[in-house]
Amino acid sequence: MPIHILAQGIFEGISTVPFAWTALKVIPCLAIVYLLKRFFNGVVNTSERNMHSKVIMMTGATSGIGAEVAKDLASRGAQLVLLTQQPLGDPFFVDFIMDMRTQTGNELITAESVDLTSLHSIRKFATKWVDNAPPRRLDMIILCANVRTPSGGKASSTEDGLELTWGLNYMANFHLLSILSPALRAQPPDRDVRIIFGTCSSYMGGTLPDFDVAPGSKSKSKSKKNSRLASAPIAFTPGEVYATSKLALMTFAIAFQKHLSSYARPDKNPMNSRVLIVDPGWSRTPGMRRFLSFGSLWGLALYLIMWPFWWLVLKSPDQGAQTFLYAAMEAQYGRGPGGVFLKECREFKYMKPEIEDEDIQKKLWETSEATVQSLEKEGAQRRANEKKAEENGNPKEKKTAESNGLPKQRKGK
């Protein structure tokens, strides 16, 4: 049939074939759309690895890219430990876990209740994990949890008083890994241990604070930029704080690799934990939808109107998960020094020199550690005051105790 139609078009003219001119106009357009979609979808992971018996801890695994990464790894037989701030008895969360077990045919999917916006909650979970004897198996940590305040949105705070984006994207990961470090170092020498950080290309717009100037003091430099950083070490506009949180996370990731590599194992074997940093690309995740819609109803309506465009230029969550899966399964990253930056399933160089600056890494670590210690002391005092007020049965005293601590403003995801 196609040969006869083609022959008719050649010998008798295109106009003699029904709808021929329409097809000649539509087919090139469809071909262009197809090629653009293939381009924006990015690279597909082709690495394979036996994930059976591997214990993988994940944050941000209940939606978006994290959920797709978790589903793929679970379907390969990995044992997942999902860290979630939702109550473990929540019926919707229970259904989510049961559905994932059914879809992947894997019953080894569990969850731990950890509120990443609470330093106290992170410490309770992490110390419990580390204190286990003998040390629990831990083959991989994948950090997918992420939050971004839409442009024009009102910044919210964690219960410790940190700006939410900064607190969850950076400080939570710093605190979690700082405590879990002994559990990573205790893994047997023949085990391939990987810590995978999720980042974003917006890190290139981030600016780390001037660590040489104490917060609130005046900068000696005449530069307005340095003065602003000195008086306000962490930017609080949504775009700046998000980019800065990703830049700080990547800088900490390299420092954490050095921290692990410097450990002298009692068995004299080399350290087997390696840090990998992954940029999944722009994807149609709930967070991206909220960002593009400015967190408003009219913005959501505009997003829906423009959905064909977003479908074309943004990856699906499954496509965004491919570089995470590549980092988790590519054999070459089980060896080598670590600290590799991956995008589109291949290595890239860091575009910000401060990421690899040892002096900045050290100052960022020390500043973050001091911040955590200070906030945890204040939080412990606040909880002690609240407990005392409850024991005394004095609601007025309890209210006063709460007001003396840091505000409990939170969420806003």
CA count, 13 A, side-chain hemisphere, 5: 7
Residue 185: both structure tokens together: 């170092």
How many angstroms separate the CA atoms of 67 and 61, rounded? 4
Would you say 246 and 199 are in contact if contact means Cβ atoms under 8 Å apart?
yes
Q: Is 411 left (phi over 0), alpha (psi -120 to 50) or beta?
A: left
| Residue 273: strand pairing partners | 193
How many angstroms separate the CA atoms of 203 and 201, rounded? 5
**Distant-in-sequence, close-in-space partners of 96: CB < 8 Å, separation ≥ 6:** 62
| Residue 163: strand pairing partners | 157
Q: Dihedral angle at the C-alpha atoms of 68, 70, 74, 80, nearest 10 degrees?
A: -170
For 155-220, give the DSSP string.
P-B-TTS-BHHHIIIIIHHHHHHHHHHHHHHTS-TTS-EEEEEE--GGGGG-----TTS-TTSPPS
How many angstroms separate the CA atoms of 46 and 95, rounded? 31
Is 225 designated active site?
no
For 263-331, give the DSSP string.
---TT-PPP-EEEEEEE--SB--HHHHHHHTTTSHHHHHHHHHTHHHHHHHSB-HHHHTHHHHHHHH-G
Would you say 249 and 196 are in contact if contact means Cβ atoms under 8 Å apart?
no
Q: Please identify which of the residues 54, 71, 246, 363 carries the catalytic annotation.
A: 246
Distance of CA 189 to the CA centre of its chain: 28
DSSP type of residue 149: P
How many angstroms separate the CA atoms of 129 and 98, rounded? 24
Catalytic residues: 246
